[in-house]
Amino acid sequence: MRIVICDDHQLLLEALATALALQGITVEAAVDSPSEAVRAVASNDPDILLIDLMFPVGSGLDAAREVIAHHSRTKVVMMTGTDDAEPLKEALGLGVTGYLAKDQPVDAIARALELALQGGTPIDSALLRRVQRPAPRVPRQRTPVDDLTPREHHILRLLVDGMSTREMVNVLGVSQSTVRTHVQNIFSKLGVHTRLQAVALLDPDAAPSASEASCATGR
């Protein structure tokens, strides 16, 4: 795996780059501003850009937008030290691959990057719950999620768990093409384009759990 890291705290940047290298990850560049991150992605064509959310000048979201628009092969995984759900909502809209809390151990960050590389959606679960459960609560109305079949509900729950296509194949006992077809059907019904956008629409109280959906489909 080849990555570019971007964080404005130099000590953290150097420590993270060194620690991830010890995990077997090739750090092509470690830079301290969003504009440098975009240039580093253009120069190195990495698998992943791992970038902080907030900077003194510029924004990690702006860099993510630029990379997603012009360097689509590179997946963007964002880090944050805040529990504010609003930036996550914007990141979901941009189509980032992952969104992590910065206070995780290095091995957890490395696992999240590997999951992103395999097509999964590593995301901080506490922040995701805040996006899914806006306050104050209002009477629930019907949403596109209600139009999903039990099998599609099950697969959406697996997406929430951050499973890659290969992992879903093992759980469901079907082919990769079947899983991809189900995922594309979910995207179409929900009117979204990425896994993160899809899971953000799931109301934990409205849809069946993965185990319930599994029983309903006979798997």
Dump the DSSP string for 143-196. Answer: -GGGGS-HHHHHHHHHHHTT--HHHHHHHHTS-HHHHHHHHHHHHHHHT-SSHH
Say which CATH class 144-217 falls into. Answer: mainly alpha
Q: Six-digit token pair at 188? A: 């179409």
Find, among 202, 200, 204, 203, the residue nearest to 90 by Cα.
200
* Fold classification of 2-132 (topology level): Rossmann fold (3.40.50)
**Which residues are paired to 42 by β-bridges?**
none
pLDDT at position 84 is 80
**What residues does each domain of the chain span?**
2-132, 144-217
pLDDT at position 201 is 76
What are the pLDDT tens digits along the chain (219 aa)?
Answer: 999 999 999 999 999 999 999 999 999 999 999 999 999 999 999 999 999 999 998 899 999 999 999 999 999 999 998 878 788 888 888 999 999 988 889 999 999 999 999 988 898 777 777 666 555 555 667 778 888 888 898 898 888 888 888 899 998 999 999 999 999 999 999 888 888 888 777 654 433 344 333 333 333
**What is the value of pTM for the model shown?**
0.65
pLDDT at position 121 is 87
